[in-house]
């Protein structure tokens, strides 16, 4: 079982870092008889992250959103080490792994604000984790292929007080802590002798960031207050306030404009206060410091701050970028890969999900070369069919072009001003230029990571790793956007299908909510978690959420 240096039967070793949305489809899809597969991750379970806001308020229970990695991989020959990869040496093709105290420390230790909030929960979980990992040795692991799917960290923009006093909503212990903190705030507010000001502070909940995480959490919290806490804390309910602070002019700005407007109106009806054009400048144990555009800094007293302002790279990824060289890896936000998800400047390393970004080649340039070589374009005019035929012929030499053909097809009709089915070369280049500008960085979503993971598994399964050009018979990765969904509270959701091939549709409301639920129900990986999720939803509807601090 000693993995270091020994490669049975000459199989290549694939080391997968991570057990999240990018890593799981690789592990599930890869041929573990063709390769020797080893997974290293500090988390020995897959986490259904889209349901974390529901876990934070008790609509869904903790174990419902976890799936043990080992049970998911039964029947596959995959080794798993619960450890943290601390260093990648791209020259020696070796990784160094160690005790996962850093990550688990992050998950398990108490933060300042927990000290008076969830003593029992945080203390007991951190002790259990520390005990079980303390004696694990560090080790080195050689790889032929390294798949980096380690995700990203919470972005704080170095805002003072965030790490000490605010709650993130990224990992399961975050959700557990928030649930305890909400219960604590209500129990503290119900104590005798609490002044009116202090009661209002204790019942003021502030969410920072109007992206999908912040919006979904504010929505779930509002449901908890209106559906459950109002029954047991009748006297307190008038003092409850939920504020969402967003630096931009509105929430959900990454979605279609109509959705952002719908959500703003819905929140206003639900009395969730959205403070737009406002930056959070600092967090203290009892307040947040905010600054509205053009105004002075002010302070709002509150008890709970949930921080959801996006993501930044993990130190491991930063170190790898530097080890490869910043001349090649010049993007400070992620590892730059080609369209086969291979990290530029590092032999055998692939990266996907939130820690990676694809460097799309400019289409205009490729097409110009293609036409020069083909010399089939007559009269300086081009029809869509001619373009498609050329791409088909030359797809082998210019695989990246296939990636753009859908976009060209969609835009061709629009650009065909004479409606004769032909564009002049000048018009055609302008159209390619326009599409080039539209092809932007893929969003940091589960959907992208999942598709990339499936692609990498299929890619590794199909190639001959000893061939000179393993790409030869494989197309580059192509992202198919299937739309976005987010819960906005009171059994309403939003769905944005613009930019997909399905419908050009963006809507909000009850129907979107049913779609949201059906989608996540089908997305649950196993029957066990499907059953748990269904029973959680039924329980919450029929008997309410458990609001005790356990
Ligand atoms: P985000 O990056 O999408 O949004 C963060 C928001 O915080 C931005 O609107 C930004 O303007 C605001 N912000 C930043 N600094 C601020 C400050 N100091 N004060 C006030 N506002 C500030 O982050 P997220 O919501 O955590 O999402 C992360 C990624 O995960 C995104 O790519 C998102 O699409 C994805 N995600 C998707 C879903 C879904 O599809 N339902 C759910 C959760 C997350």
Asked whether the ipTM of the predicted complex exceeds the cut of 0.85, the reply is: yes
Q: Measured between alpha carbons, how far is 355 from 208 in angstroms, rounded to an integer? A: 23
Q: Measured between alpha carbons, how far is 16 from 38 in angstroms, rounded to an integer? A: 6
**pLDDT at 209 (0 to 100):** 97
Q: List C-alpha distances in Å: 242 to 74, 218, 284, 431.
A: 44, 7, 18, 46
Q: Measured between alpha carbons, how far is 252 from 498 in angstroms, rounded to an integer? A: 14
- Find the mean pLDDT for residues 296-316: 97
Q: Atom 34 of ligand 1 has which residue's CA nearest to it? A: 445
When the pLDDT of each residue in the chain is averaged and rounded to a whole number, the result is 87
Q: Is 70 exceeded by the pLDDT of residue 425?
A: yes
- Sign for the CA dihedral angle at 57, 354, 13, 340 comes to positive
- The alpha helices in 58-195, defined as continuous H runs, are 69-72, 101-108, 119-133, 162-165, 172-189
- Cα of 202 to ligand 1 centre, how many Å? 25
Q: Atom 2 of ligand 1 has which residue's CA nearest to it? A: 310
Q: Measured between alpha carbons, how far is 84 from 315 in angstroms, rounded to an integer? A: 12
- Find the mean pLDDT for residues 211-240: 97
- Find the mean pLDDT for residues 89-102: 84
Residue with tokens 């059906």: 518
Q: Counting every residue, how long is the chain?
A: 550
- Which uninterrupted H or E stretch holds 449? helix 446-462
Q: What kind of architecture, by CATH, is found in domain 363-438?
A: Orthogonal Bundle (1.10)
pLDDT digits (tens, 9 = 90+) for 239-281: 999 999 999 999 999 899 999 999 999 999 999 999 999 999 9
Q: Closest Cα partner for 202 from 124, 64, 302? A: 302
What would the two tokens of residue 364 be?
């205009």
| pLDDT band at residue 134 using 50, 70 and 90 as cut-offs | low
**pLDDT at 6 (0 to 100):** 52
- Cα of 179 to ligand 1 centre, how many Å? 21
- Cα of 155 to ligand 1 centre, how many Å? 10
Q: Where are the beta strands (DSSP E) in 303-347?
A: 304-307, 311-312, 335-337
- Cα of 309 to ligand 1 centre, how many Å? 5
- Per DSSP, the residues of 175-242 read HHHHHHHHHHHHHHHTSTT--HHHHHHHTEEEEE--SHHHHHHHHHHHHHIIIIIHHH-TTTGGG-EE
The β-bridge partners of 67 are 46
What are the residue ranges spanned by the domains of the chain? 8-155+312-359+444-473, 363-438
Q: Which ligand 1 atom is the nearest neighbour of the CA of 487?
A: 41
Q: Atom 32 of ligand 1 has which residue's CA nearest to it? A: 444
Q: Is 50 exceeded by the pLDDT of residue 113?
A: no
pLDDT digits (tens, 9 = 90+) for 328-339: 999 999 999 998
Cβ neighbours for 291, distance < 8 A, ≥ 6 positions apart: 278, 279, 281, 297, 298
CATH number of 8-155+312-359+444-473: 3.50.50.100
Q: pLDDT exceeding 70 applies to what percent of the chain?
A: 87
């Amino acid at each position: 079982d000693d993995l270091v240096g020994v490669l049975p039967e000459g199989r290549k070793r694939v080391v997968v870092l991570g057990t999240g949305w990018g890593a799981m489809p690789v592990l599930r899809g890869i041929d573990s008889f063709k390769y020797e597969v080893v997974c290293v991750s500090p988390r020995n379970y897959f986490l259904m992250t889209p349901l974390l806001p529901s876990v934070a308020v008790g609509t869904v229970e903790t174990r419902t959103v976890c799936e043990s990695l080992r049970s998911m991989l039964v029947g596959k020959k995959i080794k798993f080490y619960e450890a943290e990869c601390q260093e990648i040496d791209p020259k020696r093709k070796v990784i160094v792994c160690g005790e996962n105290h850093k990550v688990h420390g992050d998950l398990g230790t108490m933060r300042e604000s927990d000290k008076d909030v969830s003593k029992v929960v945080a203390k007991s979980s951190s002790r259990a984790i520390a005990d079980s990992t303390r004696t694990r040795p560090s080790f080195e692991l050689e790889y032929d292929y390294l798949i980096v799917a380690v995700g990203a960290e919470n972005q704080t923009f170095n805002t003072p007080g965030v790490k000490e006093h605010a709650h993130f909503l990224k990992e399961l212990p975050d959700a557990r802590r928030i649930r305890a903190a909400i219960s604590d705030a209500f129990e503290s507010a119900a104590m005798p002798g609490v002044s009116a000001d202090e009661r209002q502070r204790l019942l003021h909940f502030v969410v920072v960031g109007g992206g999908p995480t912040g919006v979904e959490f504010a929505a779930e919290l509002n449901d908890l207050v209106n559906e459950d806490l109002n029954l047991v804390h009748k006297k307190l309910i008038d003092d409850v306030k939920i504020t969402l602070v967003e630096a931009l002019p509105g929430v959900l700005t990454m979605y279609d404009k109509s959705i952002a407007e719908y959500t703003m109106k819905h929140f206003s009806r639900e009395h969730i206060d959205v403070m737009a054009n406002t930056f959070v400048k600092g967090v203290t144990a009892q307040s947040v410091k905010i600054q509205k555009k053009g105004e002075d800094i002010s302070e709002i007293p509150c008890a709970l701050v949930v921080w959801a302002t996006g993501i930044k790279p993990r130190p491991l990824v930063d170190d790898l970028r530097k080890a490869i060289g910043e001349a090649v890896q010049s993007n400070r936000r992620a590892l730059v890969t080609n369209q086969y998800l291979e990290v530029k400047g590092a032999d055998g390393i692939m990266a996907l999900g939130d820690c990676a970004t694809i460097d799309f080649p400019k289409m205009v340039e490729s097409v110009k070369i293609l036409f020069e070589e083909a010399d089939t374009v007559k009269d300086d005019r081009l029809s869509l069919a001619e373009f498609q035929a050329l791409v088909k012929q030359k797809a082998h030499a210019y695989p990246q072009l296939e990636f753009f053909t859908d976009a060209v097809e969609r835009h061709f009709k629009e650009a065909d001003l004479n409606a004769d089915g032909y564009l002049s070369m000048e018009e055609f280049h302008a159209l390619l230029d326009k599409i080039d500008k539209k092809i932007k960085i893929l969003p940091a979503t589960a959907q992208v990571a999942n598709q990339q993971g499936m692609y990498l598994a299929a890619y590794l399964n199909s190639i001959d790793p000893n061939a000179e050009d393993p790409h030869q018979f494989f197309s580059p990765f192509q992202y198919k956007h299937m739309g976005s969904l987010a819960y906005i509270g009171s059994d309403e959701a939003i769905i944005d299908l613009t930019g997909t091939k399905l419908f050009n549709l963006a809507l909000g409301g009850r129907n979107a909510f049913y779609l949201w639920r059906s989608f996540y129900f089908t997305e649950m990986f196993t029957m066990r978690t499907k059953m748990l999720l269904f029973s959680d939803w039924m329980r919450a509807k029929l008997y309410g959420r458990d609001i005790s601090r356990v």
